[in-house]
Amino acid sequence: MLTFYNFPKAPSPRRAEMVLIEKDISYDNVTVDLASGEHFGDAFRAINPSCTVPALKTGSGEVLTDNHGILAYLEATYPEPPLLGRTALEKAAVASWQARIEFEGLLAIAEALRNSAPAMKGRALTGPHSYEQIPALAERGVKRLGIFWEVLDQQLEGRDYVATNDFTAADILAVVAVDFAKIIRQSPRQHFANLWRWRESLHERPSVAKTAP
């Protein structure tokens, strides 16, 4: 049985949990309370020295401590349904869009949030070390995100999914980014019709609905 270390509704573990749900994988769900700082305690440090969630313990005891490793492991171990594409070109498209969504979307949101929120003073980056906020990075994050929404909206014109004709890991990342953006009041709802149509079409999908913030 897999053990999934989670903090419900947080964007990073949500990515991994959506993969688990899409592949209909059974797992033990262990909540790590980020709000109380449990992830910095000795017990969780022994599981993941980076002090971040998600983490996934395999049945044989190995612990995977980042989304990229978790997705690669789950895709190889539970290949159906494929979330990284079926053909060589599909795999390339999914990989490309995952990279863009993470760097231009999710990281832009994180940049804006972690460099502006009073609660994250001294915590501008995740992990065990302290980093001071840089307000200019918050402004840049918002600008980057606005540009990325335009890119994603154009990609979704006439399409049901981001990278291929099927729901993939690229859609998972994009859902997480769109929903996470609400925390910095940068939802694409009002200005990007293709993007919002796509997001609304996924509203009842189990992996989306069960993990919605």
Residues 6+ apart with CB under 8 A from 166: 81, 82, 86
- Please give the pLDDT value at position 79: 98
pLDDT tens digits along 136-181: 999 999 999 999 999 999 999 999 999 999 999 999 999 999 999 9
Q: Label residue 123 by pLDDT band (50, 70, 90).
A: confident
- Residue 198's pLDDT is what? 97
Using omega within 30 degrees of 0 as the cis cutoff, is the peptide bond preceding 118 cis?
A: no
Backbone φ and ψ of 123, nearest 5°: -130, 45
Residues 88-111 have pLDDT tens digits of 999 999 999 999 999 999 999 999
Alpha helix stretches (DSSP H) within the chain: 11-22, 42-47, 67-77, 88-100, 107-114, 135-155, 169-180, 193-201, 206-209
pLDDT tens by residue, 21-33: 999 999 999 999 9
Amino acid present at 91: K
On the 0-12 / 13-18 / 19+ scale of CB atoms within 10 A, 132 is: exposed
Average pLDDT over residues 25-45: 95
Q: What is the pLDDT of residue 102?
A: 97
- Distant-in-sequence contacts of 156-164, Cβ < 8 A, 24+ apart: 156/194, 156/195, 156/197, 156/198, 157/194, 159/194, 159/198, 160/198, 160/201, 161/198, 162/97, 162/101, 162/198, 163/85, 163/90, 163/93, 163/94, 163/96, 163/97, 164/85, 164/90, 164/93, 164/94
Q: Which two tokens stand for residue 144?
A: 């980057």
Q: How far apart are CA 33 and CA 43, in angstroms?
A: 12
How far is Cα 186 from Cα 170, in angstroms, rounded to an integer?
A: 20
Q: What is the mean pLDDT of residues 125-139?
A: 90
The per-residue pLDDT for 153 is 98
- Span 8-30, mean pLDDT? 96
pLDDT at 125: 85
Mean pLDDT of the chain: 95
Question: What pTM was computed for the model?
Answer: 0.94
Q: Percentage of residues in the chain with pLDDT exceeding 70?
A: 100
pLDDT tens-digit map of 186-209 = 989 778 999 999 999 999 999 999
Closest residue by Cα to residue 186 from 132, 150, 211: 150
Complete DSSP assignment for 172-204 = HHHHHHHHHGGGGT--STTT-HHHHHHHHHTTT
- Please report, as a single letter, which amino acid is at residue 154: Q
